[in-house]
Structure 1
Amino acid sequence: MRTHAKRWLFLIHRWLGIVACAFFAMWFVSGVVMMYVGYPKLTETERLQHLLPLGTGSGLMAPREALDAAGVAGPLKELRLSASSGGRAVYLAVPLGAGSAAGMRRVSPGSGVVTIDARSGARLQAVDAPLALASAASYAGPGVGLDYRGTVGEDAFTHSRGLDAHRPLHRVQLADADATLLYVSSRTGEVVRDAPRAERLWNYAGAWIHWLYPFRGNAFDRYWADIVNWLSILGIAMALTGTIVGVLRWRFTQPYRSGSRSPYQGRMMRWHHISGLLFALVTITWIFSGLMSMNPWRVFDNGARPLRTEALQGGPLVVTAQDAAPQALLAATGGAVRELRWVRTLGQTTVLAQGAIGRPTLLDSHTALARAFDPEALRVAAARLLPDAVARIEALAAYDLYYYAREAHTMTGGADKPLPILRVVFDDAHATWVHVDPHTGAVLGRTDSSRRVSRWLFAMLHSWDWLPLLERRPLWDSVLIVLSLGGTILSLTGVVIGWRRLGVKMRAMR
């Protein structure tokens, strides 16, 4: 029975390995590429830096005046003013009934957005090719050639679900040094993604193949998650059986007649055996953590209730005739403002005047005077984001295991991670933590016991998001590259061995 069980272990490992090792090799190599080149994205910093300054705001309508002219009544979820549509200053308004679910810091751009010309009050009805070219020209700057490439629903560089509200996307090729391809929203006219040529090319060897995106945007799209999940599960089974076989075949005490502790004489078999013993654990860990990144069958969804953001906002955003015009707000900043954003916090309407870099300046929406939130009032309001009791409120002045920043190109990078922040720890069934920006009063994010488990099983095990390593580069790079090379050797030798075995079987059948 013992011999029979061993034989089944050998067979399972051998035949699963013929397919799985090819994916393993691909994942290891593409993972190294992704350490330095991520999937194309337009970060908030990039977006702001490519917006034209609003200048003095002369001739721009007051927000209530523009909303009335466009026929937008009632409370809003969000209101922004920027020169983001064809280089023109536009209001982007999201009525309260549109957009994403409650509890999010901001709505998904494009979801239910009404775009209004800030000078005429005219409502943008559609984004045509000339407007898309004008937006691209504004983004690129003077003297850069443009080539309109038509519209696309989804392609190799736009699989992100955050772009769904903007589809179809206008594509504009820039004749700049980076040969950048821009994607422009058909809803708002904003540039929503940039993809330089080097980023596009490296992505075919990186994120595009790593995430099995060849199965996205086509007939396999609905099965993509299942394909990734089941390939990962089969890979884990193959690696586990291989580990058992490798340990059973290794002579820990008495060597074989050849003097080696491995029974295999062929170079490929021996390298595969030894590299498997050395790198099996990290291979299993990376395949398992990759599976966890998919949240397979929603194992990390716990049904936690949404945040009561109205407790922090103090009511919906209502724009009135008393709200100051852009000219007064911009005059109060004394700097080159790229965007004005109206928000409701602690029962007051505040305007966030955002430059190309740095934190926004806070202004009273009526008087245009500088504003700062009362720290104690902010803590009291944040404590009401959930109906449960608050265990404690911590002030974080440095990053930790659960609140930290990654490079913009990485999957979890590019988001605003300011410091200091408040961490509101609730005594609820899900052990919820909410992060609040004390400067703007915005909810930066939330985490609970399930999401913290996901952080360990995915980000920690897959990307090694451990501050002592991340803060000591190139140590982080060296560790991941060495382990990836070991896994690549293990996988490629497995591919060669598997195909040789398959060739023998095919010849025997003929």
Structure 2
Amino acid sequence: MKRWLYLIHRWIGVATCLLFVMWFASGLVMLYVPFPSLSEAERVEGLSTIAWEQLGDRDAAMLAAPARDARQIVLEMRGNRPIWRINRWEAPPIAIWGGGAGATAGDVSRAEAERIAASFGKADVEQIRAIHTDQWVVTHRYDEHRPLWKAQLAGEGGRVLYVSSDGAVVLDTNAHERFWNWLGSVPHWLYPRALREDQPLWRQVVLWSSGPCILVALTGIWIGLMRLRAGKRRFKGGRMTPYGGWMKWHHLTGLIGSLFLILWIFSGWLSVDPGRLFASDGIGTDAQRDYAGREALTIPDWSRIAARVPDARRLVISAAAGRTIVRVQRADGQERLLDAATLAPLRVDDDAIFASAAKLVPHGRIIGTDRLTRPDAYWYAVKGEVPLPVLRIMFDDPAATWVHITPTSGAVIGVSDQKRRVYRWLFDLFHRWDLNLLIQAAPARDLLIWLMSLVGLVASASGVVIGWRRLRRRC
């Protein structure tokens, strides 16, 4: 048995020690530079002010039919023309030019994509080309936007914008982000484009590269404890370890960081949900439609909105808790919530939301409600601010569903079930150390992660040296 422990740790360790080094080093980079993304606030800031004067009475008539099946209707500018973007419940999204002509907006041309990128980025476009994918838009979330236009902007910073086929900017990156992500997220997630494009293959590679690392860590801790003498029966010279040089560093740091190492590599293995143990069905489309109200979205009088918010950049029409809501967004991040029928400031009663929310989980009863005014273990954000206050509604369905709803509009902003709440502890806690106590003391959290990562780096880097020397002797 003991011989097998040594053999497993030695030879699987030789094969995986570089992975350990890479994961610890890249994880520290990710602590400060996330994978490139475009937030809603950034997207709204880059849009042009809505040209209200181009809209007319015919727009309402034109939207009447699509509104019957619309999940959401968005008004914004595409270049110098207003466009209605309609996300539908039972059909693919469509885009219609404003002004009442009813013409469907086709795919953007190179020239139009260049104008959109220049306006959004407030800079000239040095180069633009059509792409299907690249390193930064490789995930499935961009599939509905393909093909894309990749626009390199003039000026310092190496800023690049990605314009979707229907004329929306969906991502921006800069040279700083891209450089550090090649040292952070890309190696940490095993994310090179050639591999990540094949999602099933990528998932198997992550599972079968990280899985053996768990075995290496477990056998290493077992051997380390067997070879440790911390009591009176110490080794010669009062030493707790029989080893010297790199082996001593490997032995002691491996034991010091043993719990941390096991939890981190195990939770990393769970990141791709082996066996789909934590897969969640979420809330079905029918239930979402019932909660929205199943009525056609009310098209507001935008001339009155234009008079109140002439500098609006985006208008979002949706339904929640049986009523149509208009969200008017401005470039400065401010927004107004209006009742679509009256255009009065939106007022939503908590009890009305609770009553409507029962439709979200038709096979369960509401067994608890709460209004959160501060983050807790299941509603928090590691970076930035989590939306507060928020309503939490708990159901007794087989999945033990919890729904989080913003009380200002009634919009559903979070859904979890028992599986996802278990995953929150097994992955999020052990991999990101995201207890609220640590999040609120961010410098202390960073320091703790740095200390444990450095311990892990020394343990794994010493393993690289030991493995290299052993391989050289064998050769």
Task: State the TM bucket, normalised to the shorter chain.
Answer: over 0.9
Alpha-carbon distance between aligned partners in 2 of 1:317 and 1:180, rounded to the nearest angstrom? 41
User: Aligned pair 1:402/2:371, yes or no?
Assistant: no
Of 391-400 and 337-346, more deviation after overlay is shown by: 337-346
Q: Match for residue 30 of structure 2?
A: 34
Give 2:234's match in structure 1, choosing from 235, 252, 255: 255
Q: Match for residue 365 of structure 2?
A: 389
Q: How does 1:122-141 map to 2 (within 5 A)?
A: 122-141=103-122
Q: Label 1:170 to 1:282 Cα distance change in 2 as closer, same or farther (>3 A).
A: same
Give 1:363's match in structure 2, choosing from 338, 358, 365: 338
CA contact (8 A) 2:196 2:202 kept: no
The one-letter amino acid paired with 1:189 is G
Q: How does 1:225-374 map to 2 (within 5 A)?
A: 225-253=203-231, 254-265=233-244, 267-301=245-279, 306=284, 308-318=287-297, 323-333=299-309, 336-358=311-333, 360-374=335-349
The one-letter amino acid paired with 2:85 is L
The one-letter amino acid paired with 1:88 is R
Q: Label 1:91 to 1:258 Cα distance change in 2 as closer, same or farther (>3 A).
A: same
Alpha-carbon distance between aligned partners in 1 of 2:325 and 2:412, rounded to the nearest angstrom? 15
CA contact (8 A) 1:86 1:133 kept: no
Alpha-carbon distance between aligned partners in 2 of 1:65 and 1:148, rounded to the nearest angstrom? 40
CA contact (8 A) 1:431 1:449 kept: yes
Alpha-carbon distance between aligned partners in 1 of 2:305 and 2:204, rounded to the nearest angstrom? 51
Q: Match for residue 150 of structure 1?
A: 129
Alpha-carbon distance between aligned partners in 2 of 1:317 and 1:116, rounded to the nearest angstrom? 18
Alpha-carbon distance between aligned partners in 1 of 2:436 and 2:308, rounded to the nearest angstrom? 40
Alpha-carbon distance between aligned partners in 1 of 2:356 and 2:442, rounded to the nearest angstrom? 40
User: Aligned pair 1:176/2:155, yes or no?
Assistant: yes
Which runs of no fewer than 5 residues in structure 1 stay unpaired? 99-111, 409-415
CA contact (8 A) 2:126 2:152 kept: yes
Q: Please, what is the CA RMSD of the aligned residues?
A: 2.1
Alpha-carbon distance between aligned partners in 2 of 1:465 and 1:378, rounded to the nearest angstrom? 30
Q: Label 1:185 to 1:305 Cα distance change in 2 as closer, same or farther (>3 A).
A: closer
Number of positions where the alignment pairs a residue of Structure 1 with one of Structure 2: 470
Q: Match for residue 54 of structure 2?
A: 59
CA contact (8 A) 1:215 1:224 kept: no
State the SS of the aligned residue for 2:20: helix
Alpha-carbon distance between aligned partners in 1 of 2:234 and 2:107, rounded to the nearest angstrom? 76
CA contact (8 A) 2:297 2:318 kept: no
Cα deviation, residue 215, structure 1: 6.1
More helix by share: 2
Q: Match for residue 194 of structure 1?
A: 172
Cα deviation, residue 219, structure 1: 7.8
State the SS of the aligned residue for 1:317: coil
Q: Match for residue 47 of structure 1?
A: 43
User: Aligned pair 1:431/2:406, yes or no?
Assistant: no
CA contact (8 A) 1:60 1:325 kept: no
CA contact (8 A) 2:162 2:171 kept: yes
CA contact (8 A) 2:282 2:415 kept: no
CA contact (8 A) 1:78 1:342 kept: yes
Cα deviation, residue 151, structure 1: 2.0
**TM-score (normalised: structure 2):** 0.93
The one-letter amino acid paired with 1:156 is Q
The one-letter amino acid paired with 2:348 is F
Of 146-155 and 392-401, more deviation after overlay is shown by: 146-155
Q: Match for residue 472 of structure 1?
A: 441
Alpha-carbon distance between aligned partners in 1 of 2:282 and 2:346, rounded to the nearest angstrom? 34
State the SS of the aligned residue for 2:360: coil
Deviation by residue 1:336-360 (Cα, 9 ceiling, x = unmatched)? 3221111123433221112235563
Q: Label 1:249 to 1:150 Cα distance change in 2 as closer, same or farther (>3 A).
A: same
User: Aligned pair 1:93/2:90, yes or no?
Assistant: no
User: Aligned pair 1:9/2:5, yes or no?
Assistant: yes
Identical aligned residues as a percent:
37
Q: Label 1:328 to 1:189 Cα distance change in 2 as closer, same or farther (>3 A).
A: same
**TM-score (normalised: structure 1):** 0.87
Cα deviation, residue 425, structure 1: 1.0
CA contact (8 A) 2:149 2:162 kept: yes
Of 255-264 and 168-177, more deviation after overlay is shown by: 255-264
Of 274-283 and 323-332, more deviation after overlay is shown by: 323-332
Cα deviation, residue 74, structure 1: 4.3
State the SS of the aligned residue for 2:192: helix
CA contact (8 A) 2:315 2:327 kept: yes
Deviation by residue 1:276-312 (Cα, 9 ceiling, x = unmatched)? 1111221111111111221112111255663712332
Give 2:466's match in structure 1, choosing from 497, 501, 504: 497
CA contact (8 A) 1:86 1:136 kept: no
The one-letter amino acid paired with 1:314 is G
Cα deviation, residue 496, structure 1: 1.0
Give 2:93's match in structure 1, choosing from 113, 117, 126: 113
Alpha-carbon distance between aligned partners in 2 of 1:97 and 1:288, rounded to the nearest angstrom? 40
State the SS of the aligned residue for 2:180: helix
CA contact (8 A) 1:394 1:422 kept: yes
Alpha-carbon distance between aligned partners in 2 of 1:457 and 1:357, rounded to the nearest angstrom? 39
Q: Match for residue 352 of structure 2?
A: 377
Cα deviation, residue 226, structure 1: 0.7
